[in-house]
Structure 1
Amino acid sequence: MKLSNIKEILPTLNNVEFQLEGGTFVPEHFHVTEIGMITKHFIDCGGTIRNEKVINFQLWDANDYEHRLKPTKLLNIIKLSEEKLGIEDAEIEVEYQAETICKYALAFNGNHFILKNKQTACLANDACGIPTEKQKINLGELKSNACCTPNSGCC
C-alpha cells in the first residue's frame, strides 16, 4: 500500500485498527511513534547496485491504555511528515514489536489495516547459483516410452 492509498482511506474510517495477518489485533491503545522515509542503497549478491525507498510507520504498544489514535490525527501526522521531511508517495512498511522489531507490508481489507508478513528473497537468482524449483509431476501422467515398458528388457 502506498502513502496516497492510506491518505484516501483514513477519512472514511471512524477508528484506526491494525491487524496482524494471523488475526491478532494490535492493541487499540497503540501509538504511531514515527513516520519517515527510509532509503536503502545496497548491492545484491549478484553485484547489482540497488536503491529502495519506503515510508516507515512505527507502531508502539504503550501502557497508555486510554490512548486512541483517530484517523484525522494520523492523517495530520502524515501531512506534517510530508511538509517537514519532503516524504514522497512510496510503499508503506510498518515496524511493530513482536519478539523483536518486525517489518510488515500494509494492506486494507475494507475494515482495518492488515500487517502483512514480509519475506527475504534473493534478488539475483540468475547470478547467485540458486537452482530453480523443479516442477513436480505425477509419474502416472508420464507417457510411456516404448523402450521402458514392462517386459521391454530396459530395466
Structure 2
Amino acid sequence: MKLSEIKSKLKVLDTIAFQLPNGTLVPSHFHVTEVGKINKHFIDCGGTVRHEEIVNFQLWEANDYDHRLHPEKLLSIIELSQNVLNIDDLEIEVEYQGDTIGKYNLDFDGKNFLLTSKQTNCLAKDNCGIPKEKPRVRLSDLQQTSACCEPSSGCC
C-alpha cells in the first residue's frame, strides 16, 4: 500500500485497526511511534547495485490502555512527516514487536489495515547460479522404454 492510499482510507474511517497475519488485532491502545523514510542502498548477490526507498511506520503498544489513535491524528502525523522528511508517495512497511521486530507489508480489507507477511527473495537469480525450477513430471505419464525388470533382463 502506498502513502496516498492509507491517507485516503483514513479520511473515511472512524477508527483504526491493524490486523496481524494470524488474524489477531494489534491492541487498540497502540501508538504509531515513528513515521519515517528508509533508504536502502545495497548490492545483490549478482553484483547489481540497487536502491530502495520506503515509508516506515512503527507500531508500539504500552500500558497506556486509555490511548486511542484516531484516523485524523494519524493523518496529521503522516502529513507532517511528508513535509518535514520530504517523503514521496512510497510503499509502506510496518514494524511491530512480536518475539522480535517483525516487518510487514500493508493492505486494507475495507475495515482493517492488514499487516501482511514479507518474504525474502533473490533479486539476481539469473546472475548468481540459482537454477530455474525444474518442471514437475508425473511418473504415470512417463513411458517405459524398456522392460528392465523382466526375467532374464539382467536388472535383478
Q: Distance in 2 between matches of 1:9 and 1:50?
A: 31
Query: 1:13-71: CA deviations, max 9, x gaps?
Result: 11100001111110000000010110000000100000000000000011100100110
Counterpart residue type for residue 6 of structure 1? I
What is the correspondence of 1:20-99 to structure 2 with a 5 Å cutoff? 20-99=20-99
Would you say the 8 A contact 1:148–1:154 is kept in 2? Answer: no
Partner amino acid, structure 1, of 2:90: A
Q: What is the rounded CA distance, in whole Å, between the counterparts of 2:147 and 2:85 in structure 1?
A: 72
Which amino acid in 2 is paired with 1:107?
D
Query: 1-side partners of 2:146 and 2:48: how far apart?
Result: 47
| Percent of residue pairs identical | 59
Distance in 2 of aligned mates of 1:111 and 1:137: 43
Q: TM-score, normalised by structure 1?
A: 0.91
Considering fraction of residues, name the structure with more helix: 1
- Give the drift of 1:149: 5.7
Root-mean-square deviation (CA), in Å?
1.6
The 10-residue stretch of structure 1 (42-51 or 132-141) with the greater mean CA deviation from structure 2: 132-141
Q: Which amino acid aligns with 2:66?
A: E
1:112-145 Cα distance to aligned partner (Å, 9 max, x none):
0000111111111112112222222211123x26
Counterpart in the other structure of 1:104: 104
5+ long unaligned stretches in structure 2: none
Q: Which residue does 1:127 correspond to in 2?
A: 127
User: What SS does the aligned partner of 1:148 have?
Assistant: coil
Aligned twin of 2:146: 148
- Counterpart in 2 of 1:14? 14
CA contact (8 A) 1:30 1:60 kept: yes
Equivalent residue of 1:73, what SS? helix
* Residue aligned with 1:37, SS: strand
SS at 1:8's partner residue? helix
| Equivalent residue number for residue 139 of structure 1 | 139
Structure 1, unmatched stretches of 5+, are none
Q: TM-score, normalised by structure 2?
A: 0.91
What SS does the corresponding residue of 2:4 show, helix, strand or coil?
helix
SS at match of 2:105: strand
Amino acid at match of 1:20: L
